[in-house]
Amino acid sequence: MLRFIYSFRLKFLALSFAALISASILEPAIVSSAENNSIRIAVEGAFPPFNYLDSNNQLQGFDVDFAKALCETAKLKCEFVIQEWTAMIPNLLDNKYDAIISSMSMSAERREKVAFTQKYYDSPSVFIAPKKSGIAGTSPDDLKNIRLGVTAATSQEAYAKKFYSGVATTVFPASPDLYKGLADGKVDIILEDKLAVYDWLANTKAGSCCAFKGEDIKNTEYFGDGAGIAVRPSDKALLDKLNAALETIQAGDTYDTINAKYFPFSIR
């Protein structure tokens, strides 16, 4: 469920909140549907390299480029709404926007609330620890005296609560806070989406402290079958339109072009 321009998320969240307020002033709460060829797409804007705000306060990232290609293919007029992560699904169901394209894993819990398209990328979760760490393994027994870190309202947090309930766990508000907590020694190991954390490990000075620990973790109940686009369950017409556009993009060169812009390997 990763790319190579890393910026700290606290700044992103502040900018995102300002942008969301601004968007709310300019646009009505209930938006036009795909039947009118106009939809609004929610993006967190604080999850590089998938979605983030650049120095000009403009949305960038894999999710953003993919969403633009999807809208062009589906012949939809799309507007982006920057939305804080924990309210993503509630505000979708409350008609604040029509779709979520923000690296949302299709977990069983989320499938009970929203409808998802086919996946548009996939990524396992993984533990990350300091390179000089003496941690021998990543089983619950291996970590019973270790301080674990996760990000709030993520699949990794839910997974840790279920399978690592006996491990002292700190929940950080955002991924950059999680990474900083590991680098600063506030926790000994973290559990994170592998693609999301790769940029921090490979392209930042702080991230050079640490490396992947143990095997990739794949669990469809918690991490789903990859990242999908979420819509309201009642919006079948929109779901069908997005799936058709997704299939077209993946069959041609567009997907691989966007993929190569961010990653030196396929994330299909």
Fold match, 9-122+225-262 / 125-220? yes
What was the pLDDT predicted at 48? 84
- Kindly report, residue by residue over 14-35, the tens digit of the pLDDT: 444 444 433 333 333 334 455 6
Spell out the domain ranges in the chain.
9-122+225-262, 125-220
**Alpha helical stretches, state H, the chain:** 9-26, 62-74, 88-93, 108-111, 155-163, 175-183, 194-203, 220-223, 236-251, 254-262
Task: Choose the CATH number for 125-220 among 3.40.190.10, 3.40.50.150, 3.30.930.10, 3.30.420.10.
Answer: 3.40.190.10
Quick one: fold of 9-122+225-262? D-Maltodextrin-Binding Protein; domain 2 (3.40.190)
- Is the pTM higher than 0.75? The answer reads no
- Kindly report, residue by residue over 178-231, the tens digit of the pLDDT: 999 999 999 999 999 998 898 899 889 999 999 999 999 999 889 888 999 999
What was the pLDDT predicted at 49? 87
- Kindly report, residue by residue over 37-83, the tens digit of the pLDDT: 899 999 999 888 899 999 999 999 999 999 999 999 999 999 999 99
What was the pLDDT predicted at 113? 97
User: Of all residues in the chain, what percent carry a pLDDT higher than 70?
Assistant: 87
